[in-house]
Amino acid sequence: MFRRALVALGVAGAIAAALRARGTGGVPPQSGGWRELSGPDLR
């Protein structure tokens, strides 16, 4: 019983770790930046 509980906890931890690690994006922009729209952009 105790071993089953440990196995269940281990599996749950592995799934949680995989989900935590997973995601989209995550790589910061390597070039460029934000520029305020002004003058010619708004004519």
Residues that bind another protein in the complex, under the rule CB under 8 A: 23-26, 28-38, 41-43
CA dist 25 and 7 (Å) reads 32
Residue with tokens 């690690």: 21
- Shortest CB 28 distance to another protein, Å: 7
Helix (H) or strand (E) holding 11: helix 2-21
1 or 42, CB closer to another protein?
Answer: 42
- Shortest CB 9 distance to another protein, Å: 20
1 or 21, CB closer to another protein?
Answer: 21
